[in-house]
Amino acid sequence: MSVLLDYLLNLRLVLSAYDHRVGRRLRMCYWRKPRTQVRRLIKLGVSERLAVAYVVSPEKGL
């Protein structure tokens, strides 16, 4: 019985780790949408014009 209990507890830990990773990836994909990027940059205090310019710029990583 304890072997089964240990297995189930270990399985729960593994699944919760995967749940965390999947959720993080989904949030990353959501953040990458241009409209979302502009909204969040504006919310952080960037002017609308600069936010749009940054989102459409091909040189974002620099």
pLDDT 10s digits, 26-51: 877 777 788 888 998 999 999 999 99
Contact 11, 19 (CB under 8 A): no
62: pLDDT confidence band, cut at 50, 70 and 90?
Answer: very low
Structure-token pair, residue 11: 């399985």
| pLDDT for res 1 | 67
Residue 60, pLDDT score: 63
What does each C-alpha distance from 56 to 34, 40, 41 come to in angstroms? 8, 15, 13
What's the pLDDT score for residue 50? 92
- Give the pTM: 0.48
CB 38 within 8 A of CB 55: yes
- Report the candidate in 32, 30, 55 with the shortest Cα–Cα distance to residue 42: 55
Q: What DSSP character marks residue 62?
A: -
